[in-house]
Every structure is written in structure tokens, then in C-alpha cells.
């Protein structure tokens, strides 16, 4: 155990909504009509089988809410001001918001949370402003979302906030038979033949996979649909946040409202078993993108995230191979049905095909290519746009369509097709229709590029500014604010070394109830399960 008590000595609570600190009574939510989802589920029963469509998890509901006409302002004695509003969409499992007018001054901050305060967003500030004045949030659990804007005294009164729509999430995170024969699909509801990305897939690829999984993201399209995507390296190796996905993921969506989630990986892998993966809530999310290039001929879309990837984030930028050489074998990493990250492997080399005008790699299956599909795992709807890696761990395509699905804990042996990276590279006639101008901006002409890690490995468990424990002394609870470590665990010990509590602390806001503990000194041991680096902090409990 490495005692680094001084690292967390200066505790900060400014990321917590101010209304919580002041114990302000919540505002009355604007309640939307209940949605009849029976027809939606019937459509999903068909569309979920089509990988050329993004996977639907929610319904977009137009609603105008702004600072001038809605919500409630509270003036504080120190000159600060708080604006709060709430929207309820009955029976929603989760909710997110789209701002068609978003402009925050320096000194203003915005946060979202749910009714029981168990899910809280990252904090938005003037750093999230963009030219489009549009922003789409990641989703918050529950059927009511609270929006809180805090403006410090002396801040210029130049703020524009107007919500144009919310997404009523009706699946992701809950399983409930709402209508006969049609379950409400969510976490762990991808097919049982899937392999969590931490499952072994072969000694010749497992080491590569540890870096490559950090390139893959779950992509929220801001319209109630999901795809998969991957961060891409470029020949400048300058960490420009390019994201590669499928061209069909652009349909009826605006990249300004897109948001992405990295490192959603189960710490306890399930490998083609009829049991659920362990969830880990992470705050590795970003909002907003700009379209750089797309082309239907190889079904690719390249966007650039509006914000830079924080230097502390343990993600990576994928390498690529534009040679169009036949791979020895291929591996896919993806988020099927909006589920936690999965992996699949095919040992039969893919072949080049033209699928109704789209240039693709064919994962040969029983109904196309005289093959037997994936040796391990499968892809499903929601895997759309996910990267295909060759034996060297370089991207050679992104998922377009296919008929590979689970049949129990085995897959059905059928095919998948991926748009070919080499075709995407230079098949277009303008920068807006090809990859070469963006991924080789200095014109090296090279055919391959290796992956690049974003965060440099360090021997110490550095927590300053990204991991906070408060309050201390504590009376009712201890909060762990975590915006860096996607696989953080905790154990609370008393003075004689007995373990009192333990659990997962991978959410952005984690609480440990200490109200029933006797007054005294306790030790909170935090462990990054990925690196096994750890930190211990002395906690004082006062009743």
C-alpha cells in the first residue's frame, strides 16, 4: 500500500451543484406527456437486425426551455446567481438534452443531475463554447433531468442557454418486459455469444488489444441513436481528435449534438456466457464534433471532436493501414446494442467485395463467401462504424452491415462487411470525400501508421485535480469525485485494519454513507484496478 496522503490534501467541492450545498428546494419539473412505446418496440424488433442502421435507444422530444422564460433564478448574498430548471419525461430510463443555443461566460458553469442525485454530469464552462452555439449532453439516469447554471458575482451577464429537445431514453440500463414478447433492452442485453473486450482472444493479439481498446468509443448521435467509433492517429501524431465511424451514422443526425464515451469496459470479463457483465460508470465523455469527410462508396465518416482530449485521459489514437493488403486475420472492437465494450476475432482472412456499390471487407460467412463467420464473438446493431483491425492492430475498415448474430452462446456463422480504409483514403476527389488530407496532413505518403497513447504511464497514482475526496471531517457521507479512472475501487478500514465497506468508485460522483459509523479515524484505500496503483487517505468521522 503506497501512502500518498498529501496528494488529496486540498479538497475542492466546486464540481458539486451549488444548490446541493445550500440545500435549496428543487424546482418543479416541466412534465411532458407519456409516450406510447408499443409501436416503437415493434419497429425495434425489425431494425435491431439491420447493422446498416444505428441502434435506437431513445426518442427525441422537441421542447423549448430557456433562461428568459423558464426555470427559476436564485440570487445569493455573495452576489452569485443560480438558474435551475427541470424536465420530466415519464417512464424514461435516461435523459439527455440538446441545446440549440449555448454560450457560457468565463465564470459560469452548467451541470445536469437526476432526481435522487445518483447521477451527475461533468461540469460545462466557457471552454465548451463553440461557433455553432450547439451542444448535446451525455445521458443522465432517470425520468427527470435537472439543469443548473451557476454564475459567479462579477461575471459578464452574457449567457445564452436554450434547450431545443430532450432525448427520452427507453432502453440502456434496464430490462423490463413492457409488452408481451418484447423486452426493454439495455446493459448486458447484447447476445450471449459476445466476448467482453478484456477476454483473451489469442497470444498474438492480447498485448495489442490492451492499447487498441482505448481507441474505441460509444457514439451518441444526439437523436436517440447510437453507433461505435474509434479515435484515429495522423502523421503529425499531434493528438488531433479525429473520430472514424460509418457514413450511415450521419443519417438524420447533426455532429454538433454528438457525444462520445471512452473506456466503458467491464472489469470482470464475461466470455461468451449467458450471464451479464459488470457495469462500470465512467465520466470519460465529450460533446460536439464537426464533420470533416464522408463518402458512401466505402461508408466512412470522419469527424473532429470540438474539444481536445484531456492530457490525463487514458485513451489512445488508432494506427491504420491503407495498403489494402489481405490481412492474416482480423479483430473487431465495438459496443453492440449500446452495451459495454466487446471484441470479436476471425481467423479466416477477409476478402474484398463490392456490396451494392460499397467497397468492403467481407468477413466470410455461411451465406456469403463460403466461410464460418467469426471464430470468437460477433457484431450487432450499435456496432455500426466500429473499427476492424488487422493482425498488426491497425485499422483497415469500419463496420457497415452484416448478418452475423448470436445463437445462444455461439454465433450463427454468418458474414459481416466493413467499408475498406484504403478506399476511403483517396477514392474521393476533395478533402471532404476522403481521408488522406486529414490523416496524412503533412503528405508523407506512408502506407501505415502505428497507434499512439494519449496519457504517458507514470509510476505514481497522480490524483491532483482529477480525484477528490470530501468532506473531511465527514458526518453523513464521504464523496469521491473521479473524472479520470474508469476502474477505480475503494475499501474503508477502521484503525485496527478491519474492512468496513468496499465498492466501485468509477462514477464521476461516488458516495459512501458513514452516518452509522462511530466517531473516529478511518482509512480510505483507493485502487486503480487497471494499473494497481493505489492511494490511502485518512478520514475523520464526526457525528
The answer on 391 and 443 residing in a single domain is yes
The model's pLDDT over 348-395, given as tens digits with 9 standing for 90+, comes to: 999 999 999 999 999 999 999 999 999 999 999 999 999 999 999 999
Supply the pLDDT for residue 471: 87
The model's pLDDT over 23-61, given as tens digits with 9 standing for 90+, comes to: 899 999 999 999 999 999 999 999 998 999 999 999 999
Decide if 192 contacts 406 (C-beta within 8 A). yes
What is the domain-level CATH number for residue 71?
2.60.120.290
Q: Which domain, by its residues, includes 466?
A: 460-541
Q: Is residue 243 domain-resident?
A: yes
Instruction: Using the predicted structure, report yes or no on whether residue 279 has a pLDDT greater than 70.
Output: no
The model's pLDDT over 397-411, given as tens digits with 9 standing for 90+, comes to: 999 999 999 999 999
Backbone angles phi, psi at 129, to 5 degrees: -65, 150
The model's pLDDT over 108-127, given as tens digits with 9 standing for 90+, comes to: 999 999 999 888 888 899 98
The answer on 492 and 361 residing in a single domain is no
Nearest of 99, 472, 27, 438 to residue 288 by alpha carbon = 99
The model's pLDDT over 295-323, given as tens digits with 9 standing for 90+, comes to: 999 999 999 999 999 887 889 999 999 99
Distance CA 385, CA 405 (A): 16
The answer on 243 and 123 residing in a single domain is no
The answer on 206 and 163 residing in a single domain is no
Last residue of a domain, one of 410, 435, 453: 453
Distance CA 450, CA 452 (A): 7
Instruction: Using the predicted structure, report yes or no on whether residue 178 has a pLDDT greater than 50.
Output: no
Q: What grid cell was written down for 497?
A: 485494519
The answer on 447 and 375 residing in a single domain is yes
Last residue of a domain, one of 136, 161, 183: 183
User: Within 10 Å of residue 492's Cβ, how many Cβ atoms?
Assistant: 20
Last residue of a domain, one of 183, 213, 228: 183
Secondary structure E strands in 270-355: 285-287, 289-295, 300-305, 316-317, 320-321, 330-334, 342-346, 351-355
Supply the pLDDT for residue 230: 98
Decide if 229 contacts 260 (C-beta within 8 A). yes
Domain count, the chain: 3
Largest CA distance in the chain: 74
| pLDDT interval class at 282 (50, 70, 90) | low
What is the domain-level CATH number for residue 518?
2.60.40.1930
Q: What grid cell was written down for 127?
A: 471552454
Catalytic residue among 70, 141, 143, 299: 299
The answer on 204 and 169 residing in a single domain is no
DSSP string, 156-182: -S--EEEEEEEEEE-SSS---EEETTE
Q: Is residue 242 domain-resident?
A: yes
Please, what's the b/e burial string for 279-315 (b: 16 or more CB within 10 A of its CB; e: otherwise)? bbbbbbbbbbbeebbbbebbbbbbbbbbeebeeebbb
Q: Is residue 9 domain-resident?
A: no
Catalytic residue among 168, 248, 334, 525: 248
The answer on 147 and 63 residing in a single domain is yes
Mean pLDDT score of the chain, rounded to an integer? 88
Tell me, yes or no, if 335 is annotated catalytic: no
Nearest of 112, 433, 60 to residue 254 by alpha carbon = 60
Long-range CB contact pairs, 38-45, < 8 A, 24+ = 38/179, 40/170, 41/178, 41/179, 41/182, 41/184, 42/182, 44/182, 44/185, 45/182
* Beta bridge partner(s), residue 109: 150
Q: Is residue 385 domain-resident?
A: yes
Catalytic residue among 384, 424, 479, 508: 384
C-alpha dist (Å) from residue 110 to 14, 305, 450? 12, 20, 38
Supply the pLDDT for residue 281: 60
Burial environment of residue 266 by CB neighbours within 10 A (0 to 12, 13 to 18, 19 or more): buried
The answer on 473 and 438 residing in a single domain is no
* Beta bridge partner(s), residue 237: none
Residue with grid cell 470533416, as numbered in its chain: 292
Supply the pLDDT for residue 470: 84
What is the domain-level CATH number for residue 315?
2.40.10.120
The answer on 260 and 169 residing in a single domain is no
The answer on 507 and 416 residing in a single domain is no
Q: Is residue 1 domain-resident?
A: no
Helix (H, G, I), strand (E, B) or coil at 70: coil
The answer on 224 and 119 residing in a single domain is no
Q: Is residue 10 domain-resident?
A: no
| pLDDT interval class at 458 (50, 70, 90) | very low
| Residues 6 or more apart in contact with residue 325 via CB below 8 angstroms | none
Supply the pLDDT for residue 173: 62
Query: Averaged over 325-332, what is the pLDDT?
Result: 98
| pLDDT interval class at 341 (50, 70, 90) | very high
| pLDDT interval class at 280 (50, 70, 90) | low
Share of the chain above pLDDT 90, in %: 68
Q: Is residue 478 domain-resident?
A: yes
| Residues 6 or more apart in contact with residue 301 via CB below 8 angstroms | 244, 245, 246, 247, 249, 250, 291, 293, 294, 385
The answer on 245 and 165 residing in a single domain is no
Instruction: Using the predicted structure, report yes or no on whether residue 181 has a pLDDT greater than 70.
Output: no
Distance CA 331, CA 220 (A): 23
Distance CA 249, CA 259 (A): 13
Q: Is residue 190 domain-resident?
A: no
| pLDDT interval class at 466 (50, 70, 90) | low
Bond into 471 cis (ω within 30): yes
Residue with grid cell 484531456, as numbered in its chain: 310
Instruction: Using the predicted structure, report yes or no on whether residue 290 has a pLDDT greater than 90.
Output: yes
Instruction: Using the predicted structure, report yes or no on whether residue 517 has a pLDDT greater than 80.
Output: yes
Tell me, yes or no, if 299 is annotated catalytic: yes
Supply the pLDDT for residue 47: 92
Distance CA 258, CA 219 (A): 7
Amino acid at each position: 500500500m503506497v501512502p500518498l496522503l498529501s496528494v488529496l490534501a486540498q479538497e475542492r467541492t466546486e464540481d458539486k451543484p451549488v444548490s446541493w450545498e445550500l440545500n435549496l428546494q428543487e424546482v418543479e419539473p416541466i412534465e411532458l406527456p407519456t409516450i406510447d412505446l408499443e409501436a416503437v418496440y415493434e419497429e425495434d424488433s425489425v431494425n435491431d437486425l439491420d447493422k446498416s442502421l444505428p441502434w435506437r435507444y431513445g426518442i427525441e422530444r422537441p421542447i423549448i426551455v430557456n433562461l428568459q422564460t423558464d426555470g427559476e433564478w436564485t440570487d445569493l448574498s455573495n452576489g452569485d446567481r443560480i438558474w435551475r430548471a427541470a424536465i420530466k419525461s415519464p417512464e424514461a430510463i435516461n435523459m439527455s438534452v440538446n441545446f440549440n443555443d449555448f454560450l457560457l461566460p468565463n465564470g459560469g458553469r452548467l451541470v445536469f443531475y437526476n432526481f435522487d442525485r445518483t447521477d451527475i454530469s461533468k461540469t460545462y464552462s466557457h471552454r465548451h463554447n463553440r461557433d455553432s452555439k450547439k451542444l448535446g449532453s451525455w445521458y443522465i439516469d432517470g425520468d427527470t433531468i435537472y439543469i443548473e447554471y451557476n454564475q459567479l458575482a462579477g461575471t459578464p451577464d452574457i449567457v445564452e442557454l436554450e434547450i431545443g429537445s430532450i432525448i427520452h431514453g427507453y432502453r440502456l440500463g434496464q430490462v423490463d418486459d413492457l409488452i408481451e414478447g418484447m423486452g426493454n433492452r439495455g446493459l448486458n442485453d447484447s447476445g450471449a455469444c459476445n466476448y467482453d473486450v478484456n477476454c483473451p482472444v489469442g497470444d498474438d493479439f492480447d498485448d495489442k488489444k490492451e492499447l487498441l481498446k482505448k481507441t474505441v468509443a460509444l457514439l451518441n448521435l444526439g437523436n436517440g441513436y447510437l453507433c461505435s467509433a474509434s479515435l484515429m492517429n495522423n502523421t503529425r501524431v499531434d493528438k488531433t481528435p479525429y473520430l472514424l465511424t460509418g457514413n450511415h451514422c450521419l443519417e438524420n443526425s447533426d455532429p454538433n449534438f454528438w457525444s462520445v464515451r471512452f473506456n466503458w469496459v467491464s472489469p470482470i470479463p464475461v466470455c461468451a456466457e449467458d450471464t451479464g457483465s459488470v457495469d462500470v460508470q465512467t465520466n470519460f465523455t465529450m460533446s460536439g464534433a464537426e464533420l470533416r469527410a464522408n463518402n458512401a462508396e466505402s461508408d466512412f465518416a470522419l469527424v473532429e471532436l470540438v474539444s481536445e482530449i484531456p492530457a490525463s485521459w487514458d485513451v489512445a489514437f488508432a494506427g491504420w493501414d491503407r495498403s489494402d493488403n489481405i490481412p492474416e486475420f482480423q479483430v473487431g472492437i465495438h459496443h453492440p446494442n449500446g452495451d459495454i465494450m466487446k471484441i470479436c476475432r476471425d481467423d479466416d482472412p477477409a476478402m474484398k467485395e463490392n456490396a451494392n456499390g460499397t467497397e468492403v471487407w467481407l468477413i466470410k460467412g455461411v451465406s456469403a463467401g463460403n466461410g464460418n463467420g467469426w471464430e470468437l464473438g460477433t457484431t450487432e446493431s450499435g456496432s455500426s462504424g466500429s473499427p476492424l483491425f488487422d493482425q498488426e492492430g491497425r485499422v483497415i475498415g469500419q463496420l457497415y452491415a452484416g448478418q452475423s448474430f448470436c445463437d445462444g452462446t455461439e454465433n450463427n456463422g454468418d458474414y459481416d462487411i466493413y467499408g475498406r480504409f484504403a478506399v476511403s483514403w483517396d477514392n474521393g476527389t476533395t478533402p471532404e470525400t476522403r481521408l488522406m488530407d486529414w490523416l496524412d496532413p503533412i503528405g508523407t505518403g506512408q502506407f501505415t501508421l502505428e497507434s499512439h497513447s494519449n496519457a504517458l504511464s507514470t509510476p505514481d497514482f497522480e490524483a491532483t485535480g482529477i480525484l477528490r475526496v470530501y468532506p473531511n471531517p465527514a458526518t453523513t457521507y464521504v464523496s469521491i469525485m473521479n473524472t479520470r479512472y474508469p476502474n477505480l475501487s475503494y475499501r474503508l478500514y477502521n484503525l485496527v485494519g478491519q474492512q468496513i465497506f468496499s465498492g466501485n468508485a468509477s462514477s464521476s460522483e461516488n458516495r459512501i454513507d458513514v452516518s452509522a459509523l462511530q466517531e473516529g479515524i478511518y482509512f480510505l484505500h483507493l485502487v486503480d484496478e487497471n494499473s494497481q496503483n493505489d492511494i490511502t487517505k485518512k478520514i475523520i468521522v464526526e457525528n
